[in-house]
Structure 1
Amino acid sequence: MQIAVIGAGIAGLAVTKVLTAVGHEVTTFDTEPEVGGVWSPTRHYPGLTTQNTRMTYEFSDHAAPQTWPDYPGAGQWHDYLRGYVDRFGFGANLRLSTGVALAEPIAAGWDVRLDSGEHVEAAHLVIANGVFSRPMVPDWPGRAAHADAGGVVKAPSQQLTLDDARGRHVVVVGYGKSACDTAMALTASADSVTMVPRRLLWKGPKVLLGKHFEDVAITRLGEVLFANPRRFGPVFGVLSRATVKQQGLDALGLVPPGRFDDIASSSASLATDGFFDAVRSGAIAVRRDRSIAELRGAGKPQAVLDDGTELPADLIVAATGFEQSVPFLDQPLTAQNAEGDFELFRNVLPHHIPNLTFAGYNTSLVSSLSAEVGATWIAAHLAGALTLPPLPARQAQVRADLAARKARMRGQYASGTVVLPRSLGNIDRMLGDMHAVLPRRTRLAQWTRRSYSTDFRETLAAAARGLGAVG
């Protein structure tokens, strides 16, 4: 079958590899000149490292070098993904620096029109453009005057460099991973760095009470805890108090609102190494619970906060999240409901659009593994090898999932694409659809120790062999 894939990030590469291996003719398009999505060199920003350890972020059948640090840097992880392409030999399937302008359904499947005007036909389309690929930069009032005065506004992924901040006053808007990473990194070259978070978030320590974060969050027991925060309130009380003490949040005035279990949300992140020490030393100033009201440029670039505070702002780093969209599809075909949520069974299959699946729309704490499982699920779907409930039952399941996510994350669930805290639970469901069985001893072990991608290697390989995979 001729298959077109839009996106060559982690999910796009996984689905290209799997579908090629089972005999499909796959062409994958990406606007970037290199593979990797967020790990493409054109999207790197200072301080970018993996948030997972390499052992939980790698693909199940492609190990990262053991000599690498636990949290590899951006360049290393791009090399890792490039090595994945080379090892499994599907580089010829990739058309990089090639954007898709429009994808339209036709009798034979899909007509994919490229930015160049070229048309490519495919029997099936896989959308893997990423839920964190289009930065959402606010259009603050006064931006033109700010720019006229020499001010610069950019998202971290818009080729932000240390030179952008050299000798300049920097304002970082946000408090997620990219915000804290860049704020910390830019202290090396900026005259000043001020963070403006509208709402503080809990930042998990890598090690807390002698336990690595992943040995709590990426376990089956951890998923039960985070999925039932009220039932296990005393546990989260201990974790929150320990976190406040370890990070010195009381003295810094940076205790976040809400509950500690809020950390298992779409903006979940670990504390950037040295970040709170930098705040303590004054290298980073934090104006908590504030937002930018307007920008000014009379004489010098400034940002005016909603309390009237004026900040020098030569460079504004808008670490303000991402827009989940499929701009190359006509509006009736977006698979989104009136609230903008993607209605996808297993976060893959739309209800009413034939010959279409989504890859990577299942954000979790084990993104590469989730991408692999999703890719194998798509291959099984195309082979007619899945056991799925009828459409009304699938629709009801999706509605229930979206409602639960919305309530659990107070609406911060990336248009329905975040499956946290059920990272492993979502994988279990998909494996069940494929009649793929994880060994009982492995499942039992995962209750008390972190789940590694390699735990699933033989199970996924067996599922692929059942679909006619080569090798």
Structure 2
Amino acid sequence: MATKEAAPAPDRVCIIGAGPAGLSAARALKRLGIPYDQFERHSDVGGIWDLDNPGTPMYESAHFISSRKTSGFFDFPMPDTYPDYPGNRQILAYTRSFADAFGLRPAIQFDRAVADVEQVGTGWRVTLDDGTEHAYKAVICATGVTWAPRMPQHPGTFTGEIRHSSSFRSALEFRGKRVLIVGLGNSGADIACDAAANADAAFVSIRRGYHLIPKHLFGIPTDELANDGPQLPLRFERPFFRALLRLVQGDLTKYGLPKPDHKLFESHPLLNSQLVHYLQHGDVAIRPDIARFEGNTVVFTDGSREEIDVVLYATGYDWEIPYADKYFDWADGRPDLYLSVFNREHRNLFGLGYIEINSSAYTLFDHISNIVAQYLHDQDHAPDRAAVFDDLIRTDRPKLNGGIKFLASARHRAYVDAHAYHAYLRTVRERLGWQNLTPGIFAEVRRAAMAAVKA
């Protein structure tokens, strides 16, 4: 029987989701002694990295596209025994070890989904899927952006199998089939390589060219090279890397890849070292956009045709916050959030993880969770400073593109440059006098968690 909370708990915060973003928020709140509850609809932590989590877009061959040394939570590095680009099972194990090390599990209620979030006065009412209601001072939405598959429509009727990449798990699913992958993002490129190695024939349909970046340059993970090398102005960095890629890869158009219609760095990086190998060996072929379906035949815009058994759309996801959708200002499928987190119209409603960035996400989550936690702490302990930040949330619209003119697409509407984003977070922290993340800052939380475990 559904029950209602006997008395409001306006001092508490609700975190929705126990993936990487939700866990980052939990650690930040715990460090400052802010009471919170955390709800996770699945049976364990890990979010999309858990292949058993219903609806996850993860597949068996998935690896990080950012490297081990640049990808971990702040002050909690991935094990040295991990490879340069960890696989999904390693990332899941690492994420769960993070939750254990900081004692985050006791506050998580598993197998409990949030059905609705409603603003009530200055607080928020959260209704669970069993009808139970709880009152909170603030709500952190951290349920991610890859749960609503986007399926394009093409003219004609296809008599084979049509799927979205969210349903893909194993390369063995392609055995004995002629496969067409639609889309060439990072997942599309990965899955195309699985098809190249297992299908009877493999094709990739793409509408535009992309800059393909190998995962290693000179034996060093590419993002490490970019982060740790000299920070050149964009006008020097772009031609340097363009020349370097041309030297390493040659002219990729000879393998059927269209010439990019945009400059390097103006779209989400496509990091893949295998696709060129399979293109060079003829195990996968590039095709243009689909014009129409004719039975089991796919007709492309250049007039070419292929008989296909499986069409798999690697065409991305629509961003959704279904339990609180009406409280976010959406444009081109992206919410308008200050610093990609703070709701401009509804105080203490946050969207953590609703960001596209040209860098790894875990440490980014930690830096922004730190600001969220200090802002919530100030509301009780330094209200004048919190009021200054309230004004920033409403009026401040910084340019976070780092001088890069990103593609004019829905995906890139919320896109930010990592260096520009971190620099502006630093500016905000300094203006408000908030503490920066420094090595050892979470040590007291870890010590307390380990002491509790030993007890």
Scaled by the length of structure 1, the TM-score of the pair is 0.80
Identity %: 26
Q: Deviations over 1:420-457 (max 9, x none)?
A: 2424324423543553566xxxxxxxxxxxxxxxx943
The answer to whether the 8 A contact 1:405-1:413 is kept is: no
Q: How does 1:371-386 map to 2 (within 5 A)?
A: 371-384=365-378
Give the Cα–Cα distance (whole angstroms) in 2 for the partners of residues 207 and 420 of structure 1. Answer: 21
SS in 2 for 1:98: coil
- Is 1:397 equivalent to 2:400 in the alignment? no
**Which residue does 1:168 correspond to in 2?**
177
Q: Deviations over 1:128-157 (max 9, x none)?
A: 122344332223344xx53xx4513122x3
The answer to whether the 8 A contact 2:150-2:318 is kept is: yes
**CA, structure 1 residues 171+340, in 2 after alignment: closer, same or farther (shift >3 Å)?**
closer
The answer to whether the 8 A contact 2:175-2:199 is kept is: yes
Q: How does 1:33-432 map to 2 (within 5 A)?
A: 33-42=43-52, 43=56, 44-107=58-121, 109-142=123-156, 145-146=157-158, 149-155=159-165, 157-208=166-217, 212-219=221-228, 221-222=230-231, 225=233, 228=234, 231-232=235-236, 235-248=237-250, 249-254=252-257, 256-262=259-265, 265=267, 267-271=268-272, 273-287=273-287, 290-297=288-295, 301-331=296-326, 333-336=327-330, 338-364=331-357, 365-384=359-378, 389=388, 394-398=393-397, 400-401=398-399, 408-412=405-409, 414=411, 416-421=413-418, 422-432=420-430
Letter in 2 for 1:237: P
**CA, structure 1 residues 382+105, in 2 after alignment: closer, same or farther (shift >3 Å)?**
same
Q: Which moved more, 1:273-282 or 1:71-80?
A: 273-282
**CA, structure 1 residues 152+380, in 2 after alignment: closer, same or farther (shift >3 Å)?**
same
TM-superposed CA distance for 1:14, in Å, is 0.5
Q: Structure 2, unaligned stretches of length 5 or more?
A: 1-10
Tell me the number of residue pairs that the alignment of Structure 1 and Structure 2 aligns.
426
Scaled by the length of structure 2, the TM-score of the pair is 0.83
SS in 2 for 1:316: strand
TM-superposed CA distance for 1:394, in Å, is 4.5
**CA, structure 1 residues 182+341, in 2 after alignment: closer, same or farther (shift >3 Å)?**
closer
Give the Cα–Cα distance (whole angstroms) in 2 for the partners of residues 6 and 140 of structure 1. Answer: 36
Give the Cα–Cα distance (whole angstroms) in 1 for the partners of residues 187 and 281 of structure 2. Answer: 21
**CA, structure 1 residues 209+164, in 2 after alignment: closer, same or farther (shift >3 Å)?**
closer
SS in 2 for 1:278: helix
Give the Cα–Cα distance (whole angstroms) in 2 for the partners of residues 64 and 393 of structure 1. Answer: 35
Give the Cα–Cα distance (whole angstroms) in 2 for the partners of residues 178 and 98 of structure 1. Answer: 29
The answer to whether the 8 A contact 2:69-2:224 is kept is: no
Q: Which moved more, 1:322-331 or 1:409-418?
A: 409-418
**Which residue does 1:448 correspond to in 2?**
none
Q: Which moved more, 1:47-56 or 1:26-35?
A: 26-35
TM-superposed CA distance for 1:281, in Å, is 0.6
The answer to whether the 8 A contact 2:213-2:270 is kept is: yes
**Which residue does 1:22 correspond to in 2?**
32
**Which residue does 2:439 correspond to in 1?**
457
Give the Cα–Cα distance (whole angstroms) in 2 for the partners of residues 184 and 377 of structure 1. Answer: 40
Q: Structure 1, unaligned stretches of length 5 or more?
A: 439-454
TM-superposed CA distance for 1:5, in Å, is 1.5
Q: Deviations over 1:333-356 (max 9, x none)?
A: 1133x5554322222212220221
The answer to whether the 8 A contact 2:374-2:434 is kept is: no
Give the Cα–Cα distance (whole angstroms) in 2 for the partners of residues 177 and 340 of structure 1. Answer: 20
Give the Cα–Cα distance (whole angstroms) in 2 for the partners of residues 217 and 178 of structure 1. Answer: 22
The answer to whether the 8 A contact 1:324-1:414 is kept is: no
Letter in 2 for 1:329: A
SS in 2 for 1:381: helix
The answer to whether the 8 A contact 2:16-2:114 is kept is: yes
**CA, structure 1 residues 342+58, in 2 after alignment: closer, same or farther (shift >3 Å)?**
same
Q: Deviations over 1:136-193 (max 9, x none)?
A: 2223344xx53xx4513122x3343223212111111111111111111233321111
SS in 2 for 1:110: strand
**CA, structure 1 residues 162+86, in 2 after alignment: closer, same or farther (shift >3 Å)?**
same
**CA, structure 1 residues 340+187, in 2 after alignment: closer, same or farther (shift >3 Å)?**
closer
TM-superposed CA distance for 1:406, in Å, is 11
SS in 2 for 1:201: coil
**CA, structure 1 residues 90+463, in 2 after alignment: closer, same or farther (shift >3 Å)?**
closer
**Which residue does 2:15 correspond to in 1?**
5
Give the Cα–Cα distance (whole angstroms) in 2 for the partners of residues 355 and 251 of structure 1. Answer: 53
SS in 2 for 1:408: coil
Q: Deviations over 1:17-46 (max 9, x none)?
A: 221333333232334444223312143214
**CA, structure 1 residues 278+415, in 2 after alignment: closer, same or farther (shift >3 Å)?**
closer
Q: Which moved more, 1:273-282 or 1:25-34?
A: 25-34
**CA, structure 1 residues 34+313, in 2 after alignment: closer, same or farther (shift >3 Å)?**
farther
Letter in 2 for 1:256: K
The answer to whether the 8 A contact 1:345-1:397 is kept is: yes
TM-superposed CA distance for 1:372, in Å, is 0.5
SS in 1 for 2:264: helix
Give the Cα–Cα distance (whole angstroms) in 2 for the partners of residues 71 and 407 of structure 1. Answer: 27
